[in-house]
Amino acid sequence: MHEAGLLAQCPCSGEGQGVPPLVLLGIAAVGAWLVYRMWRAWRKDGVSRMNKVWKIAIVVVLVAVVAIVIVNKQRDSSPGTDADKGAAQVSQPAAGLPRLVDLGSVSCIPCKMMAPILEELKKEYAGRLQVEFIDVMANPDAGTPYKISLIPTQVFFDASGKERFRHEGFFSKEDILAKWKELGVSLDAPAAAPQESETSATSTGCGGTGFG
């Protein structure tokens, strides 16, 4: 239900799902052509000719079904991106480290803009900050506990695991680092003691969801 709600309200997040539109369009076109041929056969030669066309129609439908099954199996077995793999294997919080969790989708435009920022933070602050990305399309169950309403959402946790702040929409690297500093969490030294939590929801997101 969560995934369906997100797809319904986020127009940029429908990639890579189900049967390709061209395949469905082709099946519909073939079906219409067969119906037309059967009607003409019945008008011209009666039931006997129509039965021959009907047999051809059955063969075509079976071929189409097999094609759809093959396409879906290829999609399921194709290797995913690093973000997809990360969504399937959400890491556990590292003891003693502040944590930044970004919940989004690989098909959401502002989420894509967040991807290089998360990679930079992960590399530059390795051992001082834990950075995670959760694809709520590929792994909706992993996003459920965070009770988000739109994507992307960034959630800030201090070293004790307490949520300190959350932001909805694109969040620049400079703003992320400034927010950690504002929260009293130093990324150049052991994390400071937790302060009073706050919540915010600003910037441009990718649409409302049914999460939470």
Over residues 136-152, the mean pLDDT reads 94
Residue 8: pLDDT band by 50, 70, 90 thresholds? very low
Residue 124 confidence (pLDDT): 96
Looking at the predicted structure, is the pLDDT value of residue 70 above 80? no
Asked if residue 51 lies in contact with residue 70, where contact means CB atoms within 8 angstroms, the answer is no
Q: What is the DSSP string of 54-71?
A: HHHHHHHHHHHHHHHHHH
Which residue did the predictor score with more confidence, 163 or 50?
163
pLDDT digits (tens, 9 = 90+) for 91-121: 455 568 999 999 999 999 999 999 999 999 9
Q: Is CATH 3.20.20.70 what the domain over 82-182 is classified as, yes or no?
A: no
Lowest mean pLDDT among 2-11, 52-61, 95-104, 137-146: 2-11
pLDDT digits (tens, 9 = 90+) for 178-202: 999 999 998 985 544 455 545 444 5
Pairing of β 99-104 and β 153-157: antiparallel
